[in-house]
Amino acid sequence: MNILSFLRPKSTLPTAEQAKERLKIVLAHERSYASAPDYLPRLQNEILQVIARYVELEQDKLTVKLENFGSTSRLEVNIDLPKTAASVAVSPANQADRTSDDEATAADDPATDARAVS
Amino acid sequence: MGKVIVMTSGKGGVGKTTTSAAFSAGLASRGHKTVVIDFDVGLRNLDLIMGCERRVVFDFVHVINGDARLNQALIRDKRLEHLYILPTSQTRDKDALTREGVERVLTELREQFEYIICDSPAGIERGALMALYFADEAIIVTNPEVSSVRDSDRILGVLQSRSRRAEEGLDPVREHLLLSRYDPERVERGEMMKVDDVLEILAIPLLGVIPESRSVLKASNVGTPVILDPQSAAGDAYRDAVGRFLGESLPFRFMRPERRGLFQRFLRRSA
């Protein structure tokens, strides 16, 4: 304890004040989730499954948020794709699902050449 | 038609059972026919706090399963003629409480009693959801401490979305805040959140402030609701809260540190 410390203004808030501020911040965040409809986690999971058919994606790279603006709400989907996502090979099972619309681009891919020709 | 009141908090150890015991005894001592139900299946404790642990024969789960009639399971309090206790079971079966079963018992109790106090278990699992589902009023027991306030906020969200009143679009459950284990001396030193801080965050009406008090432990040691201790500040505060619940407007006490001399301090400690 410095002799002159009483001259300086108090640098830290009382712990009770800190408790209040921390609670306000964390509850503002949690309340926005609490008011979300029940289907949101399922929706998030299904979107994740669809994307995972094409790109390897970890669960926490996808967030789904529903915000209310008066009479309308906005569904916000954020997906962080890994850097290599564009070049990640798609599994053969998924290639079979592709429609003919995809074949023009698939032909450029040497791996799928054979099928494109036949 | 009786009113169903849930004592809930989310967090454990904040004083739900103490409050259930005190509130039910307070209502009964004012002549209101009251029953208090333990919803904490597997962790029965209300019987100990009420001092009737040696009189339990049948319990809530027996009644739900049709193994006993309601009046066989209800224990009549030996101190207050209008007070009854419905103890819970010590079974480890998590699914012992069914919604239909709980509804049937509560419907029967509503016909016999003015007030039905549901002592909720901690958490937001089945037992807690069952305790709050049929509530008309909710008393949120909160300590002036971060985890308790956060969990109270969470349980308020559950009340507003998953209670019967919410699901059926009826008038919402009436919410009351009961702040317990309040220590005015620590509040004054800036070590504990003030009543107003908690009110600002939770934004529900204040029913009572119960001061931290040694008498609460002493009352539980002997199985007497603390409200029946005429010497206890916590008992006084609970009596005030019951009065407010019944519509009286009473000033809030025990919110400032007591100025007491050395001699009084000594007396209180040995009391």
CB contacts < 8 A (A, B): 40
Q: Judge whether A76 lies within some domain.
A: yes
- Inter-chain contact A14–B149, Cβ cutoff 8 Å? no
Q: What phi-psi label fits residue B66: left (phi over 0), alpha (psi between -120 and 50 degrees) or beta?
A: left
Number of domains in chain A: 1
Residue A86 within any structural domain of the chain: no
- Say if the Cβ atoms of A22 and B146 lie within 8 Å: yes
Beta-bridge partners for A66: A75
Bridge-partner residues for A81, per DSSP?
Answer: none
The answer to whether residue A73 sits within a structural domain is yes
Q: What's the CATH number where B89 sits?
A: 3.40.50.300
- pLDDT for A42: 85
Reported as a pLDDT band with limits 50, 70 and 90, residue A100 is: very low
Q: What is the pLDDT of residues B238-253, one digit of tens each?
A: 999 999 999 999 999 9
Q: Which of B146, B187, B191 is the closest to A23 by Cβ?
A: B146
Q: B190 vs chain A: nearest CA distance in angstroms?
A: 5
Q: Which domain holds residue B126?
A: 3-268
In a domain, A110, yes or no: no
pLDDT for the residue A82: 78
CB contact under 8 A, A24 and B201: yes
Q: Which of A14, A23, A35 sits opposite B190 (nearest CB)?
A: A14
CATH number reported for the structural domain that contains residue A45 in this entry: 3.30.1070.10
B-chain residue closest to A22, CA distance: B146
Q: How many Å lie between the alpha carbon of A5 and the closest alpha carbon of chain B? A: 19
Q: Report yes or no: B155 at the A interface, CB cutoff 8 Å.
A: no
Q: CA of B34 to nearest chain A CA: how many angstroms apart?
A: 34
Identify all chain A residues contacting B154, using CB atoms and an 8 Å cutoff. Answer: 30, 34
SS3 A68: strand
pLDDT tens digits for range B147-199? 999 999 999 999 999 999 999 999 999 999 999 999 999 999 999 999 999 99
Can you say which residues of B are annotated as belonging to the binding site? Answer: 11-18
Annotate chain B with DSSP letters as a single string: -PEEEEEE-SSSSSSHHHHHHHHHHHHHHTT--EEEEE--TTS--HHHHHT-GGG--S-HHHHHHTSS-HHHH-EE-SS-TTEEEE-------TT---HHHHHHHHHHHHHH-SEEEEEPPSSSSHHHHHHHHT-SEEEEEE-SSHHHHHHHHHHHHHHHHHSHHHHTT-SPPEEEEEEEEE-HHHHHTTSS--HHHHHHHH-S-EEEEEEP-HHHHHHHHHT--GGG-TT-HHHHHHHHHHHHHTT------S-S-----HHHHHHHHH-
Task: Return d(Cα B259, Cα B271) in angstroms, integer.
Answer: 17
Task: Work out the minimum CA distance from A7 to partner chain B, whole angstroms.
Answer: 20
Whole-model pTM: value is 0.78
The reply to whether A14 falls in a domain is no
Residue A58 lies in a domain: yes
Whether A112 shows a pLDDT value over 50: the answer reads no
Average pLDDT of chain A is: 70
User: Does A20 touch chain B if contact means CB atoms closer than 8 Å?
Assistant: yes
Which residue range forms the structural domain that includes residue A29? 20-80
Total domain count for chain B? 1
